[in-house]
Amino acid sequence: MNSSLEMPFSSAEMLDQNFVNHKPRLSFDGGTFDAWQDWRKRLLPELRELLGPFPNGASPLSPRVVSTEAFDMFTLHRVIYHSQPNVPIPAYLLIPKNVTEKTPAVLCIHGHVPGGKESVVFGDGELGAPYGRKLAEQGVITLCPDNAGMGERAHPSGGCDFLWRRLNYLGHDLTGYRVYDLMRGIDYLRSLAEVDETRIGIAGLSGGCWLGIVHAALDDRIQAAVLSGYFTTFAQTSWFGHCICHHPKAIGELCEMPDIAGLIAPRPIFVEWGTQDVSRPVQPAFEMAQKIYRAADAEDDIRLHEFDAGHLFSGERSLPWLVQTLSRQ
Ligand SMILES: [Zn+2]
């Protein structure tokens, strides 16, 4: 507030006034199965358009194994595959010991941390359970890639911000760019002889939760998802800050984050939230998504585990749930 004129000059402050009555155009507000089907048919293509453009047709993955290391309960391969001809993706592939038949697999999406995939496999507990390793110890094949701009894919000039600027200049969206890489990760998993391609799930914490929500919404090959620590609304996060990589252009004109999660229905999802993680509140997002699942006749397929901790991946209930869900006949 300018004290001499007693009027605000900050545009951010003006926009707060627009925000009060703002309602995203395609937020779900029905209650019946038909309303859900109709809404899904309208939102899904618009979301895909907003996050694109995506490449036309998949290019060869050209995968290779860089190194292999034996651990007690799994074998860890460092692999590289290509999302696009000029986009190589480094990843860890964990194959449980004694795999003899087609086995469920989980794409483990790392959180918004500079080290990328390291935390998912070699995490020391600061971010909670290293789910890429824990799932492999429970008999599931896991693929843990670096997201664009992080881990081995970081650039000396910066992570998300630098990448966002270049993609924005070229008319691309960073979330869409990362999600396309994740879709190619599913292609890679499905190419492996050990993987049961009908039993593929995802798990993600924080920024990996956000990417997981979008990925599962757009990719119906994903049978189940654990979404931890960023199941929230844009209104409670993006509006106030958080990284620019969580803000596709005009997303709030189209829908809210739980609407995107609702596109996953009727496929099962398990949501996790640490109750001390107050800058990423799970409500009302969970109730909004639950309403969509209810309309889709899938109310039992959305679950929530709240636990007394901060911003971390618990895994206490979600990981056994995921293993069981993917193992179901
Ligand atoms: Zn970011």
SS3 6: coil
At 21-36, the pLDDT tens digits run 889 999 999 999 999 9
Report CA(248)–ligand 1 centroid distance (Å). Answer: 12
pLDDT tens digit sequence for 29-74: 999 999 999 999 999 999 999 999 999 999 999 999 999 999 999 9
Of 151, 73, 84, nearest to 115 (Cα)? 151
Superfamily of domain 34-327: Alpha/Beta hydrolase fold, catalytic domain (3.40.50.1820)
Cβ atoms of 200 and 190 within 8 Å: the answer is: yes
Cα-to-centroid distance, 285 and ligand 1 (Å): 21
**Kindly report the CA angle at 46 between 244 and 288, in degrees rounded to 5?**
70
Q: Of 15-19, 186-190, 260-264, give the lowest mean pLDDT range.
A: 15-19
Q: How remote is the CA of residue 154 from the centroid of ligand 1, in Å?
A: 11
Distance in Å, CA 271 to ligand 1 centroid: 21
Distance 207 CA to ligand 1 centre (A): 7
Query: Does residue 315 contact residue 131 with C-beta atoms inside 8 Å?
Result: yes
Q: What is the pLDDT of residue 329?
A: 59
What is the percent of the chain with per-residue pLDDT over 90, rounded to a whole number?
85
Buried b (16+ CB within 10 A) or exposed e, 65-94: eeeeeeeeebebbebbbbbeeebebbbbbb
Report pLDDT for 16.
83
Instruction: Report whether pLDDT(3) > 80.
Output: no
Kindly give the distance from the C-alpha atom of residue 161 to the centroid of ligand 1, in angstroms, as a whole number.
7
CB 315 within 8 A of CB 322: no
Classify residue 101 by burial, with Cβ atoms within 10 Å: 0-12, 13-18, 19+: exposed
Query: What is the side-by-side order of every strand in the sheet holding 87-96?
Result: 64-70, 74-84, 87-96, 141-145, 103-109, 195-205, 224-228, 269-274, 302-307
Domain limits of the chain? 34-327
Mean pLDDT of all residues belonging to the chain:
94
pLDDT confidence of residue 317: 98
Residue type, 329: Q
Q: Rounding to the nearest 10 degrees, give the CA dihedral for residues 121, 166, 242, 7.
A: 170
Cα of 70 vs centre of ligand 1, distance in Å, is 33
Distance CA 188, CA 170 (A): 27
pLDDT band at 251 (very low <50, low <70, confident <90, very high): very high
Q: What is the pLDDT of residue 247?
A: 85
Q: What is the mean pLDDT of residues 268-281?
A: 97
**In a 3-state reduction of DSSP, which class is residue 63?**
coil
Q: Are 36 and 296 in contact (CB under 8 A)?
A: yes
Quick one: pLDDT band at residue 298, thresholds 50, 70, 90? Answer: very high
Assigned token pair, 64: 């290779």
pLDDT for the residue 71: 97
For the record, the structure tokens of 160 come out as: 């998300």
Contact 255, 26 (CB under 8 A): yes
Question: Bigger pLDDT: 233 or 6?
Answer: 233
Q: Quick one: which H or E segment has residue 270?
A: strand 269-274
For residues 43 and 63, what is the distance between their CA atoms, to the nearest angstrom? 34
pLDDT per residue over 75-134, tens digit each?
999 999 999 999 999 999 999 998 989 999 999 999 998 899 999 999 988 999 999 999
The dihedral sign for the CA sequence 276, 280, 282, 283: positive
User: Could you tell me the distance, in angstroms and rounded to a whole number, from the CA of residue 226 to the centre of ligand 1?
Assistant: 20
* For residue 173, pLDDT beyond 70: yes
Using the mean position of ligand 1's atoms as its centre, give its distance from the Cα of residue 175 in Å: 9
Could you tell me the pLDDT band of residue 158, with boundaries at 50, 70 and 90?
confident
> Distance, CA 112 to ligand 1 centroid (Å)?
6
